[in-house]
Amino acid sequence: MFRSVDDFESIWKSESENTLKVLESLTPESLSQSVADDHRNIGRIAWHNVLTIPEMMSLTGLQFSGISANDPIPDRPEKIVEAYRSAASDLLKQIKSRWDDAALLLEDDMYGMKWKKGFTLYILVVHQAHHRGQLTVLMRQAGLNVPGVCGPSKEEWAAYGAPAPEI
């Protein structure tokens, strides 16, 4: 749980940059890649990560414009990147201008439970990381290069002239 707006800002900047690295590596052809026909594809997961920002955070009283839960999945990754960049930036601006550290202890009704705002921010960050992990696996299946997020990817190790660790 986040207890300071400054701590959230630091983590959010890093985590949203990592998510952007993944989203910017997508291609139009890759958006339909899924593990199986009855599972989410890359486009749906990427768009879900975008839509979750305004959906979840609107339950805390923040307001977003520009995208709606009813918007269709874009057919071009650039649109997903643009929407994510806008939502992630808007979130941080709103939190910095409307909340202080004490606000992070206030509770909201979240999906039938009471969550402190600081906990909601934590859930948003780990939710994003969870789906980012799903995306990287599907990106490999789609034949895309995967960017390093929490360390070098296989491709990045090769660019360094070193073998990727076996473990």
- For 114-137, what is each residue's pLDDT tens digit? 999 999 999 999 999 999 999 999
Q: Is residue 164 part of a domain?
A: no
pLDDT score at 98: 98
Is residue 50 situated within a structural domain? yes
* CATH code of residue 127: 1.20.120.450
Residue pair 49/128 in contact by the 8 Å Cβ criterion: yes
The stretches of the chain forming alpha helices (DSSP H) are 5-23, 42-58, 77-98, 117-141, 154-159
Tell me whether residue 41 is in a domain: yes
Structure tokens at 38: 């009855």
Supply the range of the domain harboring residue 29.
5-159
Asked whether residue 139 is domain-assigned, the answer is yes
Q: Is residue 116 part of a domain?
A: yes
pTM of the model: 0.93
* In a domain? residue 60: yes
| Percent share of the chain, pLDDT over 90 | 81
Is-contact 19 147, C-beta < 8 A? no
Q: Where residue 61 falls among pLDDT bands split at 50, 70, 90?
A: very high
Residue 137 lies in a domain: yes
Asked whether residue 69 is domain-assigned, the answer is yes
pLDDT band at 164 (very low <50, low <70, confident <90, very high): confident
pLDDT (tens digit per residue) in 69-104:
889 999 999 999 999 999 999 999 999 999 999 999
Give how many domains the chain has, as a whole number.
1
Give pLDDT, residue 77: 98
pLDDT score of 64: 92
